[in-house]
């Protein structure tokens, strides 16, 4: 495989990560006035006008991320696998990337709550917002116990279970 084709596959994978970040921002409804989020939205708008298939923006973002992942997998594995297998792998890998982004945002939010409780820049605000909005449904059922918040622990375990399930499906497909 030539180097130019590998670079194209890498670029498509990086763009896929950008759309996964945008998907997380959209699903959690983070503050769109954050400069980082507004940058992703400005990049997405022209592409959504071209590829806007569904009225729900999250579905469009997810489908664009899958198409980008499928294109990069096709570049890397071309004729080795069937197209349906590559589509399945693209869907599962996109879901795994999404869970991994949320996983690291949760860890970052927990660490930042200990180290730097004051929001000092847009990136820290974004991490803390993703973390708090991910933990919000769990905190309804698991309140903090004496100043200790155990909800991140349960969410991290749940994310690891989901990733294990997705990787088992991925092993079965491939």
Task: Dump pLDDT digits (tens) for 146-171.
Answer: 777 788 889 999 999 999 999 999 99
**Residue 174 pLDDT:** 78
What is the structure's pLDDT at 57?
A: 85
Exposure class string for 43-76: b at 16+ Cβ within 10 A, else e: ebeebbeeeeeeeebeebbbbbbbbbbbbbbbbb
Categorize the per-residue pLDDT at 23 as very low, low, confident or very high, splitting at 50, 70 and 90.
Answer: very high
C-alpha dist (Å) from residue 16 to 80, 82, 97, 169: 22, 21, 10, 21
Stated length of the chain: 174
Domain count, the chain: 1
**Per-residue pLDDT tens over the stretch 32-67:** 899 999 998 888 878 877 777 777 888 889 999 999
The stretches of the chain forming alpha helices (DSSP H) are 3-28, 35-51, 57-77, 83-115, 122-139, 151-173
87-136 pLDDT, tens digit per residue, is: 999 999 999 999 999 999 999 998 988 887 676 788 889 999 999 999 99
Q: For residue 119, give its domain range.
A: 3-173
């Amino acid at each position: 495989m030539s180097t130019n084709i590998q670079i194209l596959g890498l670029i498509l994978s990086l763009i896929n990560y950008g759309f996964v970040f945008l998907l997380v921002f959209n699903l959690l409804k983070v503050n769109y006035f954050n400069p980082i989020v507004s940058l992703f939205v400005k990049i997405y708008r022209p592409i959504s006008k071209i590829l806007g298939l569904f009225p729900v923006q999250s579905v469009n973002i997810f489908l664009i991320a899958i198409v980008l992942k499928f294109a990069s997998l096709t570049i890397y594995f071309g004729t080795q696998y069937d197209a349906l297998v590559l589509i399945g792998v693209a869907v599962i890998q996109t879901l795994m990337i999404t869970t991994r982004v949320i996983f690291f945002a949760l860890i970052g939010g927990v660490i930042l709550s200990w180290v730097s409780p004051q929001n000092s820049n847009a990136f820290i605000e974004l991490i803390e917002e993703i973390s708090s909005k991910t933990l919000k449904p769990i905190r309804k059922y698991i309140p903090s116990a004496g100043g200790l918040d155990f909800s991140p622990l349960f969410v991290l375990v749940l994310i690891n279970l989901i990733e294990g399930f997705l990787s088992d499906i991925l092993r079965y497909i491939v």
